[in-house]
Structure formats: C-alpha cells, structure tokens
Amino acid sequence: MAAPFYDRRRGYVLRVRFGGRGPGKAPDQRKADYGPRTADTGKENHHMPKMDEARKAERLDSLQGRLTKLIADVRTEADIRKKRKMIGEIGNLNRRIDKLKSGRVLSREAKRDLVAYSFIAPNFIGFCVFTLIPIVFAFGLAFLRWDGSNPIEWAGIGNFMKLGDDVFFKAALKNTIIYCVGTVPLTMIASLALAIVLNQKVKGRGIFRTFAFFPYVASLVAITAVWKMLFHPSKGPINNLLYNVFHVAQEDLPQWFSGGLVLVSMILFSVWKYMGYYMVIYLAGLQGISAELYEAASLDGAGTWNKFRYVTWPQLSSTTFFVVVMLTINCFKVYDIAVMLAGGGSGELTTSSTVLVYYIYQKAFVDWDLGYSSAVAMVLFVMVLLVTIIQFVGQARKEKA
Amino acid sequence: MKKKVISMVLAAAMAASLLTGCGDDAQTDGPGSSPEAGTGSDAEKSPEAGTGSEAGGDSQQGGSGEAVTLKWAIWDQETTAYWNDIKKEYEATHEGVTIEMVDLGSSDYMTVLATELSGEGTDFDVVTIKDVPGYATLVQKNTILALDDYIKKDGVDLEKYAGATDQVVVDGKLYELPFRNDFWVLFYNKDLFDAKKVAYPTNDMTFEEYDELARKMTDTTFGAQVYGAHYHTWRSAVQLFGVLDGQHTILDGQYDFFKPYYEMVLNQEKDGVARKYSDLKTEGLHYSAAFSSGDVAMLNMGSWFIATMITNLQTGEYDSELCGNWGIVKYPHAEGVEAGSTLGTITGLAVTSACDTPDAAWEFVKWVSGEEGAKVMASSGNFPAIMTDEVKNMIAGLEGFPADEASKEALSVSNLYLEVPYAPNVSEINSVLDSYHGSIMAGEMSVDEGIEAMNTEVQKILNQ
Amino acid sequence: MKSAHKKAVIGKAAVYIILILIALIMIIPFLWMLSASIKSDREVFQMNPFVWIPENPKWSNYSDIWTKIPFGRFVGNTVYLTVVVTLLQLLTSSFAAYSFAKLHFRHKNGLFLAYIATIAMPWQVYMVPQFIMMRKMGLNDKLLAIICLQAFSAFGVFMMKQFYEGIPDDLCEAARIDGMSEYKIYAKIMLPLSKPALSTLTIFTFVATWNDYLGPLIYLKSQEKKTIQLGLKMFISQYSSDYGLIMAGSVLSLIPVLIVFLVLQKYFVEGVASTGLKG
C-alpha cells in the first residue's frame, strides 16, 4: 500500500494493485478532505443569506468543533476500519459546513460533482454505449435463438447444451487452451530473461530494447506473411537449413502450418511477437527494485542466481501477476495469428487450428447463429474470468504471507 | 422542356408495356424450336425494344421519369471486366438509370453481403449471388425478394437456364436469376506436353487415364519440377469428382463416394504429381498463379478461368512464354459415366427486400440474366447462364481462345451438376465439409477418419 | 583478483553474445522482408547462393503495389482512423482520468469499477452484440464505427488515472488556492506533466488501431472503406505468389508505426513504469 513517491530516476511512481479500489488507492488523496476549507471561507462569505445569522453561526461553530475533534482523532486512530469511517464522516461534515456557509441552491458538492462528471462524460458516454451496453446484451443473447433478421426466439440453456456435442467447439476450446498453456509461461520467461539482460549496463542497450520491441509494433498481416515464407514447408530457409545442413529427409521436413505443428508455430510466433512488450513491463518493474536490496544481498554473499531468487523474483511478484493476467487474457483472445498462419488464402481453419474467437466469428457472421455464437463467447469469458480470479487470489495470498 | 420529356417517357412506357408483352410471347416459343434464331432476332431488335421498356419501367415507379440509381453489390471490380461492361451497356440502353457498383471483395463476399443486408440500414438494390450456401442464408434472413411474380408477369422462360434455376428453388420460390453459369473443365499447358512428347488430354478421359497422364507429365527434378496436375485448395476441386455420376450429391450425409478421389489426389501429392495441399495453404497460392507459372500440366478449374487467361495473356500479366499455349478439354469422368458431365457454378442476381425501386431493380436483373446480358458476358469470354450455340461460338471465336477443335468441343456440356444445390442447412453442411476437407488434405486425418467425421457431423445437422 | 576480472569479462561477453543472438532473431524477419521486397518472385526463395540485396533490385515492387490495389486509399483510411482514434483516446481518457484521480464526487468508485471490470473482458466476447447494435445505428461499413469502437477504451482511462495519481495532489491544491478552475488545472498543470503517459498511450493506441484486423473485418465491407491490414490480406489472397509485392506492401504498412514508435520511445519505459502497467 505504498504511497506514490517521486523518484528522480523514474518520475512519479505508484505501485498499484491491479483492479484495486478502496482505501489502498491513495490515503493522501483524501488529504484534501481532511481540513476545514479555510482557503474558501473568505470568498464564500458574501453569499451568506441575511436571516438567522446568529443561529447559523451557532451551528457552524458546533460543526467546526466536531470537525476539529474528528481530525485530531483520526490521526491517532489505529484501527483502519474505524479510521475509514471517520474520514467519511469528516467529508460529510465538510460538506455540511460548506452548504451552511454558502447556502446556494446548487450546493457546493453538486457543483463539484458536475465538474467531475463533465470531465468523465466524453469518455464515459462512449464507453457506456459501445462497451457496457453490448456486454449486457451479450449475456442475454446467449440464451436466445436469433439469426439477426427473423423474430427472436427464447432458447434457454439450449445453446449451452449444444456446446457439449459440438466437435468444432471442443476442438476450438482445446486448441485455445493448449495455445495459452504454451504461450503464457514461455513468453513470461523469455521477456523476464530479456528484461534482466537489458537492465544490465551494456553498450547500446537502447538499440537492443528498440529491436526487441519491433515485432510488437509490426502488423500481424505483414509479419505473418514473412513467417510463412521463412517456415515455408518446401521452399523456406528454415526447412532448407534442416534439409541441407541437418540432412532431414524430405518427407520428414516439418509441416509448420498444418497438423500438430500448427499450434507450435502459433506459440513460437506469439512468443516472438509479444516478448518485447512484456519485456518493457518487466523492465519498468526491475527499475523499481532498490539497489540497496542487491547490495545487501551481495554483502550476504549471494551469487547471481540467489540474487535473482531472493531479490528480483519476489520483488517482481506484482509485475509477474500483471504480466500473467494480461498474457492469459490476450492468449484467449487469439484469432488473427491462427487465421493468418494456418488459414491460407480463404482463412479457413480446420479442427487442428481452430480457436474460440474464430468459432465465435464463424457462428455469428457466417452461419448467423447469434445466440450460439454468444454462448461460445460466454465460455471464453468464463475462462478469462477464472484465470483472473485464480491469479488474483494467489497474488493476495502471497502478499499476506 | 421538362414536361415534354415526361410526356414522352409516359408514352414510351405505355408502348413498352405492350411491346414487352409481345416480345416475351415470341420468346417462349422461340428458344425451344430454334435457340439460335431466337437470340439472334432478339439481339437485333433489342436496342430499341430494350430502351423503350426500361424507360417505361423506371417512370412507372419514379412517377415522373426521375433518374433511378441502383446500388449493386459485386466483387473484384478491378480484375473482372464484365461488371463495367454490363454497367456501361445497361446505362447506354436505359436512360435515367445509373448503376452504382459497390465492390465487396471476393475473398468472403457472401459473408460480407449477409452482414450488409441483414441490417435495416442497407441501401443495396441488386446483389450478386456468388454461391448457394450464401444464397440460402440470404433467403432465410428474408433479405432478398422472391422473383416468381415478376417472372410470371414478364413471362420469363426459365427453360433457357437449362435446369440451373430448379436447383436453387426454395419452398417453391425462386429468389435469384442466374446470369453466369460456369462449368468445370480441364485446362492444360500444351508446351509442357509438347516438350515431353506426350499426347494432349482428350475430351473423353476416365479418371484412370487422367491419373496416368498426370503421372506421365510429372517431373520431380529439383528446381525444374513439372506438376502433372494441380488441385486448388477448394473442396470442390477434389470432392466433387464424386458427384459427376449423378447418383450422389453433397447433401447426402453419406460421403463414402469421396474416397477414391481423395486417394487419387493424395497419392498424386505423395508422388510429387501435384503440389502439396499444405504448401498451397501456407502460401495461399492462387490456382491462376500456379497455372500461369508454367509448371502445371493440367488444372481442373471452372470456365471462368478462360476469360482470365485470355485477358491476362493479352495484357502481359501472364508470361506467354510460360502459359501462352494452353487448351481445355472436358472434365475426366468415372467409368461408365458420359463424357462432358461436369460441375456447375451459377452466379445470380437478386433484388433486395429493402430496395425502394424493386421494379427498376427487377428490370436490371432480367436484362442482365437475359439475352442482352448474355451477349455482354460472352463478349469478354465469360459464360452467361443462357448458353446458346451462338454464345458458345462467340466465346470460341474470341481472340486468345485456344484454336484447336478439342477446346471448342470442350464447351459442350452433357450433364451439369451444381457444386452445391439448395437445402435449408446447406451453409452448415458446407462448413463441415470444408473443414474436414482441410483436415484430410493436410494429413491431419486419414481419408477414412475424415469421411467418417463428415458423415457423423452432417447427419447431426440433417437430424436437427 | 585477476580471475574475478576474467570472470567479469567472460560474463560481459556472454551477455553480448546472447544480446546479439536475440537481436538477430528479432530483426531477421524484418531484414528478410526488406530484402524480399526488392526481389523478383524467382529470387525470393533462392538459397544457393542467398543474397540480401539482389543484383538488380526490383524497385518497381514499391510502385506497382499502389496500382495493383487501391493501396493509397487503404493508407488514407487507416491514417484517418488512427489519427482520429488516437486523438480521441488521448483526450477523453486523460480528461476522465483526471477526474478519477484528482477530484472527489459521488459514485466515483462505482463508475471506476465499471471501467476496471471491463479491462479483463475481452472485446471478442461482446463483439457480436456490439456489431448488431452498431448496425442498428447505421454504422455498418462506416469508418465512424471503428472510431466508436476504439476511441473509448477502459484501458486508456485506467492507465492515465494511474499516472495522475502519481502526481502529488499538492500541485492541484496549490493551483486551486490560486483560484484556477479544474479545467485550467488539467490543461495547464496535468497535461504538460503527462508526456510519458501520453506517449505510452499514443504508442499503444496507434499500434492497436493501425494493426487492428478483426474490427475492420467485421465493420468495413466495401473496397473503398478498407484499411491497410484488410487490403494487405486481400492482396495476399489474390496475388499469393507475388512475394516481392506482398513484402513491399508489408514494408510500407510498417513505416508509420515504426516512426511513431521511434519518436516516442524515449518516454516509453518511463511511461510504462509510471502508469502502473507493471503491476
């Protein structure tokens, strides 16, 4: 629950809990609410209504008194729960005092809310219309039978029942999971290793970092076209090397984009393309580890490996958590990679390369079975949710320990 | 001035409605007795008659002869000549009608079209129907109009489509009129045959003879490979050899009849006779690229490729050194099946339900799929849905069409089986067959496993 | 002492060797792309001998791509989309993030929770209903659809909020005491400070929009609306064996993203570090 602090090297740094909300966010943020609004009082005075001045002053006094006491108490209170409650109370008191002082129709906090909402509105309206509403819609759609034009029918859990008997769905689910299980750890290890190497003081590390990030920036369509050339089963340089240098028999040359190997190709490609991205995240994490910890470890006689094990790895645990969650979510979303590496000209995938999102797309936009497509989408959602929750719980437990 | 135009158009409309009636009456007995004469005379009088009737048709719904714009969904405008030809010709003969083409690309045209049409916001008037599964989807989504009333009203004779329309009737109603009807033939590269001193393929070959010939033509020398045969990645290129006997269709739910053909093709792949499916898939190699690079001796492909060959050789897009000397013969056939039995692919036009000017749209559909449209199509080497000897001669007489007699003879079809006839769930069946075709060809499944999977999965769909 | 020095030297050497190897793996596909883009179809797969630069570079690949497909239009569409989406994203999310980070108002936690909850929600889960809705709104086959889709992401708000929380509140408080309005504080104090975060968000948004494939595939149907990714994919399926041309198109499609990345990258690691993206 570290507060943000300024670091000369890194600018403002804040360690955030993923998905965090609540008081951990920033105790100092509430600072603004703590004190009476002395700065404003002078300005607000002339708004005071004329009648009942005396009674008002009396109430104001009592409120101010309570406030001062609360503020004193809150500083000494040890129980975080009570503290939180008190802080809330302080906010309320402040608001009441303000209201009393100004006595305007549009209360101070209403005005404050309006300003705040005006900041949020442009994004929130778009977000609400184009994200929140469709999400709600998606949950409903999974229980309907609809082709997008004819009248909608209620399907109940029929769509979900059908899933169990659907060979293509099962293949898609299986392939997606295999892809995730292969990609997540490999990418994590590769990007961490890369980050550690590039965090050393080596010449030209800026260039190396840039290179490592290139694949992430490159468009999938373009770069998969290159991969398909490099790994071309009969003409590509990789198989050429295997054939000419390692003397692999012609019929034993790997068929990189079909059969069992297609998932391997997808995993390799994915690691190559995205490791640069996660490397940057790890780099940022590494730079947050204080050098003193390493010095202390050195004094204890720790070698490189032990330094990694006892300093780097535990210090990076929240980064790793973030990386793993993001990686898993991104892996479950795989579509383009499969279609472009295994799909050929028409982009059709067979049972050995089909993935969930491809099946969602097919069912929705080719077969126009929107309800069923949404049911598949729900499976995707549940998978992602499960992984996130498991990670979250694991992380929380680790932090406690 | 304006008034004058309007009154003239009105008059023309009245005259035209009389004229069309007569014209169509004449037509009904025309094609039956002597198709050549029928089309001939029709073509001669078409310019005036056509203009009259069209202008009439438009003013009927425009009310005051206002200009009508028809938005028409097509694909690959840049590379396909006839879209523009049709537009030009139709606009020239139909005053006040503007055809606005929207190119939706060919790669997943029907998917895109279904998405386009299923919204309320669509403003397409006429759409091109590329395949039957897509057609089925559009019909089920009520996005295109049944044309029967128009057909009856204008007395369009469906006989002239030689049965093609029967295979796309949905619950007794017809929602498209074909304007192109392609059939599959065998393309071959004469230079390769000459170099090997092997006799050209003939118009009457069994699959055994074809296989033998392909093997004879093959050269596996590294760097100078010649492939005896080439199969595009489409399911039709392999599976549908099986439906040529007329006893099976792809809607059967039992696909054991695919087996000999899968085995033939897979064996050819194994022996280097044909390029590997997995290679083609990796490269996304287009059949045209394969054939035009001059190392493919024989290619089974639809007749649309004739026009492509002619144009691209003329423009120099294809190297005439490599593939300039080509010919076609009829599809090979199984033992005991008549030569000239082949697969057909129809391309049709439909009027959308959302169209504000359905009458004008219908006129356009009727014109394009009628004799006038047929001539436009044939003039660029494409096969119109109305196949007459005249059209055949026109195509065979085109500059760039192979000069030998066999190639001309190859244009005569004895039995035509649609690649995919209509069925309510044809789209799903199609997906299943496509997918397992991929699995078999890529070696992910054995032929037996693949066919078994097709059988079970399609049965599931049929039982629904 | 000497052996320790030796060890250090060997260690350094090992690090460099590893780095160079990794760099090669990362960069070779790009070099291959460049090399193939000036080769003829026949030279592309020639391995014996393999040359990076052919004797007669086929520069015409770079001019042919513009005429074979409406490449110019694709580029135009993509540039338009990317610029608009990036600007909107930067503006609206930094705006909203300022409010979440520095202002106090009712339902703040609830509203922010809505954002957080959707970060872990893959777009693919709701892309179908979203499409149906957009179609109803008449946005099918409109570039506007992609703008609506990309410009209001929860991710941007989340990222910017993390960054703003790292800026001490005292700065804002002081400005408030000086009588500055919140809008002014945002514009005069916060924005100038958020260069690293804005750069990072720009890179992410630019890359995501420029390279997006599935979104445009669903929404953009007609040829003249297509983006560079759709166009390139279409070109690949049409001219599959024209490797030289495909590679030339690919190279061209990479240039803008690379430029944006190279220009902004100096803020990048700092940006990631300060926006809470590292966890």
What is the DSSP code string of A153-166? EE-TTHHHHHHTT-
- Distance CA(C141)–CA(C143), nearest Å, equals 7
Burial tier of C41 (Cβ tally within 10 Å: 0-12, 13-18, 19+): middle
**Which candidate from B76, B104, B289 shows the least CB-CB separation from C241?**
B289
**C99 plus C47 within the same structural domain:** no
Q: What confidence category does residue B453 fall into, taking pLDDT thresholds of 50, 70 and 90?
A: very high
Q: Which residue of B has its CA nearest to A365?
A: B111
**Which candidate from C122, C213, C243 shows the least CB-CB separation from A329?**
C122
The single-letter code of the amino acid at B26 is A
The CA R_g of chain A, rounded to the nearest whole Å, is 29
Place of tokens 């049911």: A375
pTM value is 0.80
Q: Report if residue A61 sits inside a domain.
A: no
pLDDT above 50: residue A42: no
Beta bridge partners of residue B227, listed in sequence order:
B296
**Helix, strand, coil fractions of chain B, as percent rounded to 5:** 55, 15, 30
Query: Beta strand pairing status for B296-302 and B341-351?
Result: unpaired
User: Which residues of chain A does B276 touch, with a Cβ-Cβ cutoff of 8 Å?
Assistant: 233-234
pLDDT above 50: residue B34: no
Mean pLDDT check: name the lowest of A8-12, A312-316, B63-67, C144-148. A8-12
The answer to whether A141 contacts C26, with C-beta atoms less than 8 Å apart, is no
Q: What confidence category does residue A104 fall into, taking pLDDT thresholds of 50, 70 and 90?
A: low
Half-sphere exposure of A90 (CA within 13 A, CB side): 23
Of C173 and B326, the one with more pLDDT: B326
And the tokens for A122? 């442009």
CATH number of residue C201's parent domain: 1.10.3720.10
And the tokens for B324? 């300039």
Q: What confidence category does residue B42 fall into, taking pLDDT thresholds of 50, 70 and 90?
A: very low
pLDDT above 90: residue A174: yes
Q: What confidence category does residue A345 fall into, taking pLDDT thresholds of 50, 70 and 90?
A: low
Mutate to test the interface with C, among A8, A106, A123 (most CBs of C within 10 A): A123
The answer to whether C130 contacts A227, with C-beta atoms less than 8 Å apart, is no
pLDDT above 50: residue B48: no
- Distance CA(A336)–CA(A269), nearest Å, equals 12
The answer to whether A365 contacts B118, with C-beta atoms less than 8 Å apart, is no
Q: Which residue from B464, B307, B293, B460 is spatially nearest to B383, judged by alpha carbons?
A: B307
The answer to whether A350 contacts B108, with C-beta atoms less than 8 Å apart, is no
Query: Beta strand pairing status for B173-174 and A5-7?
Result: unpaired
**Range 80-139 of B in CB contact (< 8 A) with C:** 102-107, 112, 115-116, 118-121
pLDDT above 90: residue A105: no
Domain end among C58, C78, C97: C58
User: What pLDDT is stored for residue B63 in this prediction?
Assistant: 40
Q: What confidence category does residue C1 fall into, taking pLDDT thresholds of 50, 70 and 90?
A: low
Of B390 and A191, the one with more pLDDT: A191
Q: Report if residue C131 sits inside a domain.
A: yes
Domain end among C43, C58, C73: C58
The answer to whether A284 contacts C177, with C-beta atoms less than 8 Å apart, is no
Domain end among C15, C32, C58: C58
Q: Which residue of A has its CA nearest to C93?
A: A123
pLDDT averaged over chain B? 81
Neighbours of A196 (CB within 10 A): 18
Half-sphere exposure of A270 (CA within 13 A, CB side): 30
Mean pLDDT check: name the lowest of A32-46, A107-121, B226-240. A32-46
User: What pLDDT is stored for residue A177 in this prediction?
Assistant: 95
Q: Report if residue C72 sits inside a domain.
A: yes
Q: Which residues contact C102 (CB under 8 A, 6 or more apart)?
A: C164, C169, C172, C185, C190
pLDDT above 60: residue A33: no
Average pLDDT on B91-100 reads: 90
Structural domain for A224, as ranges: 159-400
User: What pLDDT is stored for residue A178 in this prediction?
Assistant: 96
**C8 plus C143 within the same structural domain:** no
User: What pLDDT is stored for residue A235 in this prediction?
Assistant: 80
And the tokens for A139? 């949950």
Q: Which residue of B has its CA nearest to A345?
A: B284
Phi, psi of B460 (to 5 degrees): -55, -45
Q: Which residues contact C154 (CB under 8 A, 6 or more apart)?
A: A127, A131, C115, C116, C118, C119
And the tokens for A379? 């499976």
User: Which residues of chain A does B140 touch, with a Cβ-Cβ cutoff of 8 Å?
Assistant: 147, 150, 368
Are C260 and A219 in contact by the 8 Å Cβ rule? The answer is: no
Q: Report if residue A322 sits inside a domain.
A: yes
Neighbours of C195 (CB within 10 A): 15
Q: Report if residue A19 sits inside a domain.
A: no
Average pLDDT on C224-243 reads: 85
C8-20 pLDDT tens trace = 788 888 888 888 8
> Interior CA angle at B318 toward B314 and B320, to 5°?
75
Q: What confidence category does residue B11 fall into, taking pLDDT thresholds of 50, 70 and 90?
A: very low
Neighbours of B190 (CB within 10 A): 17
Mean pLDDT check: name the lowest of B41-55, B199-213, C238-252. B41-55
The answer to whether A367 contacts B431, with C-beta atoms less than 8 Å apart, is yes
Q: Report if residue A122 sits inside a domain.
A: no
Q: Report if residue C263 sits inside a domain.
A: yes
What are the helix and strand counts (H, E) for chain B? Answer: 20, 11
Q: Report if residue C189 sits inside a domain.
A: yes
Asked if residue C196 has a cis previous peptide bond (ω within 30° of 0), the answer is no
User: What pLDDT is stored for residue A32 in this prediction?
Assistant: 41
And the tokens for A192? 């961490």
pLDDT above 50: residue B4: no
Domains: count for chain C: 2
What is the DSSP code string of A165-198? T-HHHHHHHHHHHHHHHHHHHHHHHHHHHHHHHH
Beta bridge partners of residue B186, listed in sequence order:
B300, B329
The single-letter code of the amino acid at C1 is M
User: Which residues of chain A does C166 touch, with a Cβ-Cβ cutoff of 8 Å?
Assistant: 4, 11-14
Q: Which residues of B331-370 are buried (b: 16+ CB within 10 A; e: fewer)?
A: bbbbeebebbbbbbbbbbbbbbbbbebbbbbbbbbbbbbb
Q: What confidence category does residue B366 fall into, taking pLDDT thresholds of 50, 70 and 90?
A: very high
Q: Which residue from A23, A98, A103 is spatially nearest to A67, judged by alpha carbons?
A: A98
- The alpha carbon of C7 is separated from its chain's Cα centroid by a whole number of angstroms, namely 42
The answer to whether B107 contacts C237, with C-beta atoms less than 8 Å apart, is yes
Neighbours of B449 (CB within 10 A): 13
**C154 plus C42 within the same structural domain:** no
HEC string of chain C equals CHHHHHHHHHHHHHHHHHHHHHHHHHHHHHHHHHHHHCCCHHHHCCCCCCCCCCCCCCCHHHHHHHHHCCHHHHHHHHHHHHHHHHHHHHHHHHHHHHHHHHCCCCCHHHHHHHHHHHHCCCHHHHHHHHHHHHHHCCCCCCHHHHHHHHHCCHHHHHHHHHHHHCCCHHHHHHHHHCCCCHHHHHHHHHHHHCHHHHHHHHHHHHHHHHHCCHHHHHHCCCHHHCCHHHHHHHHHHHCCCCHHHHHHHHHHHHHHHHHHHHHHHHHHHHHHHHCCCCC
B307-324 pLDDT tens trace = 889 988 888 888 888 888
User: Which residues of chain B does A368 touch, with a Cβ-Cβ cutoff of 8 Å?
Assistant: 114, 118, 137, 140-141
- Distance CA(B428)–CA(A166), nearest Å, equals 13
**C41 plus C75 within the same structural domain:** no
Query: Beta strand pairing status for B296-302 and B326-329?
Result: unpaired
User: What pLDDT is stored for residue C29 in this prediction?
Assistant: 93
Of A25 and C238, the one with more pLDDT: C238
The answer to whether A255 contacts B285, with C-beta atoms less than 8 Å apart, is no
pLDDT above 90: residue B122: no
**C265 plus C183 within the same structural domain:** yes
**C7 plus C107 within the same structural domain:** no
* Separation in Å, CA C13 to CA B438, C7, C20: 49, 10, 10
* Separation in Å, CA C135 to CA A148, A362, C128: 10, 18, 11
User: What pLDDT is stored for residue A39 in this prediction?
Assistant: 42
Q: Report if residue A281 sits inside a domain.
A: yes
**C39 plus C129 within the same structural domain:** no
Using left for φ > 0, alpha for ψ between -120 and 50, and beta otherwise, residue C226 falls in beta
Are A270 and A263 in contact by the 8 Å Cβ rule? The answer is: no
Structural domain for C240, as ranges: 61-274
Are C246 and C236 in contact by the 8 Å Cβ rule? The answer is: yes
Q: What confidence category does residue A258 fall into, taking pLDDT thresholds of 50, 70 and 90?
A: confident
High-pLDDT (> 70) share of chain C, %: 97
* Separation in Å, CA A267 to CA A275, A353, B395, B438: 12, 12, 51, 21
**C141 plus C52 within the same structural domain:** no
**C37 plus C66 within the same structural domain:** no
pLDDT above 60: residue A2: no
Average pLDDT on C257-261 reads: 88
CATH number of residue A223's parent domain: 1.10.3720.10
The C-side interface with B (CB below 8 A) comprises: 69-70, 131, 135-136, 138, 140-141, 218, 221-224, 226, 233-234, 236-242
**Which candidate from A14, A134, A276 shows the least CB-CB separation from C276?**
A14
**C24 plus C66 within the same structural domain:** no
Q: Report if residue C126 sits inside a domain.
A: yes
Q: What confidence category does residue C180 fall into, taking pLDDT thresholds of 50, 70 and 90?
A: confident
**C137 plus C237 within the same structural domain:** yes
Q: Report if residue A313 sits inside a domain.
A: yes
Domains: count for chain A: 1
3-class DSSP state for residue B228? strand
Place of tokens 């219908």: B362
* Separation in Å, CA A368 to CA A359, B114, B430: 12, 9, 14
A71-82 pLDDT tens trace = 888 777 777 778
Q: Report if residue C125 sits inside a domain.
A: yes
User: Which residues of chain B does A346 touch, with a Cβ-Cβ cutoff of 8 Å?
Assistant: 107-108, 233
Q: Which residue of B has its CA nearest to C230?
A: B105
- Distance CA(B30)–CA(B26), nearest Å, equals 6
Are A178 and A263 in contact by the 8 Å Cβ rule? The answer is: yes
pLDDT above 70: residue B268: yes
pLDDT above 50: residue A19: no
Query: Beta strand pairing status for A144-145 and A153-154?
Result: antiparallel
**Range 18-57 of B in CB contact (< 8 A) with C:** none
**C87 plus C152 within the same structural domain:** yes
Q: Report if residue C279 sits inside a domain.
A: no
pLDDT above 60: residue C279: no
- Distance CA(C59)–CA(C57), nearest Å, equals 6
**Range 388-447 of B in CB contact (< 8 A) with C:** none
User: Which residues of chain B does C36 touch, with a Cβ-Cβ cutoff of 8 Å?
Assistant: none
A119-172 pLDDT tens trace = 888 889 999 889 899 999 999 999 999 888 788 889 888 899 989 888 899 999
* Separation in Å, CA B107 to CA A132, A216, B240: 33, 27, 21
User: What pLDDT is stored for residue A265 in this prediction?
Assistant: 93
Q: What confidence category does residue B123 fall into, taking pLDDT thresholds of 50, 70 and 90?
A: confident
The answer to whether A149 contacts B141, with C-beta atoms less than 8 Å apart, is yes
ipTM of this predicted complex?
Answer: 0.90
**Which candidate from B102, B121, B285 shows the least CB-CB separation from C240?**
B285
- Distance CA(A225)–CA(C247), nearest Å, equals 8
- Confirm or reject contact between B319 and chain C (CB < 8 A): no
* A contact chains, 3+ CB pairs < 8 A: B, C
Phi, psi of B259 (to 5 degrees): -55, -55
Q: What is the largest CA-CA distance in chain C?
A: 76
- Distance CA(B341)–CA(B242), nearest Å, equals 11
Burial tier of A128 (Cβ tally within 10 Å: 0-12, 13-18, 19+): middle
- Confirm or reject contact between A134 and chain C (CB < 8 A): yes
The answer to whether B443 contacts A258, with C-beta atoms less than 8 Å apart, is yes
